[in-house]
Amino acid sequence: MAIRNIEKDALSSNISLTDFGKAMNQVDLSLVPPEKRRLAIFDHMMRIMADTVTDGTKATEIRQARLGRMLQNR
């Protein structure tokens, strides 16, 4: 079993925990069917991450992964 340092692997971001909570609270799930809400919340979180990560390469990777996931879950 390998031990992993999550703090070391974390990406730096320019958003505070409070602002992240406010941004997550802005998602509107009223038109999303109940079975797709989990994916909608995850997609919203990934959008916030892509917009706030300070490493441009990682932000691009997140955007590409998000787009690929959106195309897969149509």
CA-closest candidate to residue 50, choices 70, 65, 39: 65
pLDDT confidence of residue 7: 77
CB 52 within 8 A of CB 15: yes
pLDDT confidence of residue 48: 95
pLDDT in tens, 11-28: 889 999 999 999 999 999
Please state, in angstroms and rounded to a whole number, the distance separating the CA atoms of residues 58 and 61: 5
pTM assigned to the model = 0.79
